Amino acid sequence: MDLQAFLHRQSADYTDTRALGRCLRELVEAGLDQLPLPGSGRTLERFQRLAEVGGHDLGLCKLYEGHTDALAIIQQLGGSPTPSSTWGMWAAEPPDARVRVTPQGQMVALNGRKAWCSGATVLSHALLTTWDQQDRQQLVAVALDQPGVTLTDQGWQAVGMGATGSVEVLFDGAEAQAIGNPGDYLQRPGFWQGGIGIAACWYGAAQSLAERLRRHCGHREEPHALAHLGAVDSALHAAATVLRFSALSLDAAPQEDAERLARRARAVVENAVEQVILHVGHAVGAGPYCKDRQFARLIADLPVFLRQSHAERDLAALGQHVINGTWTL
């Protein structure tokens, strides 16, 4: 079964984190989590699969993207994930929630609090960023079903993306395995390549919303709705073009620094998605917000998921990259 067929069979009514976890496990059991690696020559296929899940349900996409990103990172850094495992990728680093790591034989011990741990209650394992005794960032893999790991109900009051259960997790002497060397998580080429994958998730959700507008326009002649559809089409076309170009660029030079490429792609897609949200809402009115459950969930989830962008802070970083460059056609 391919991914689209699998998703078509799902109800797209994930009421809580347990439902998302069950669906993720089914995806893993069906082998539908085995995506081409970024820069492998099939990066567009990876982006397409992420977009498909994003268009189906963003809560599921959050867990699926984190799981597939973790698998890619482990492979890139020379590790091997436990068969049939489900993974989170937890890299948020707020100043009041840091995990420290100390050597413990062939393994390491974890102590501290980790914030924004999506799917913590339904996953078997997680990759997370920690800090060693020299204050260097170290990526570790940890099994969540062990003493020393406490899953809290704290830190998550969201309505949009609420089902992801992105709670805080406490570590008290939990055993983990170091993945790669200190600094590898951010320094590897795959870091920025994965950042473009997030934009593909945004695109998939926006495309799904846009399909509602397309159907709306197909049922009745409304000049203003058609104008909104034209605006949506141009925004999605720009986003898709950038994602395709980014995939080709990564495949052509998989070891090059992709930061500028990723920042540009994410900025273009973020702007396109915001335009889609605006124009679709203006065109279709209150009906789908109130009567179409999947639409209502997407329109509530997408602005929250989109905030994985840091808005003007990311644009300022992009500005620093291009301040001495030129633009050519």
Report field, pTM of the whole predicted structure over 0.85: yes
Let me know: does 317 contact 264? Beta carbons within 8 Å. Answer: no
Measured in whole angstroms, the distance separating CA 127 from the mean position of its chain's CA atoms is 14
The pLDDT-based confidence of 264 (bands split at 50, 70, 90) is very high
Instruction: Look over the chain and give the mean of its residue pLDDT values, rounded to a whole number.
Output: 95
Residues in contact with 48: Cβ distance below 8 Å, sequence separation at least 6, in sequence order: 200
pLDDT per position as a tens digit, 215-235: 999 998 899 999 999 999 999
Mean pLDDT, residues 170-184: 97
Q: Count CA atoms within 13 Å of residue 160 on its CB side.
A: 13
Query: Region 62-84: what's the mean pLDDT?
Result: 94
Maximum Cα interatomic distance, the chain, rounded to a whole number of Å: 71
pLDDT at 37 exceeding the cut of 90: yes
Cα–Cα distance, 322 to 155 (Å, whole number)? 37
Mean pLDDT of 101-125: 96
- Which amino acid does the sequence have at 9? R
Is residue 257 over pLDDT 90? yes
Domains detected in the chain:
3-76 (no CATH), 87-181 (2.40.110.10), 186-322 (1.20.140.10)
pLDDT grade for 173, boundaries at 50, 70 and 90: very high
Partners of 87 in beta bridges: 125
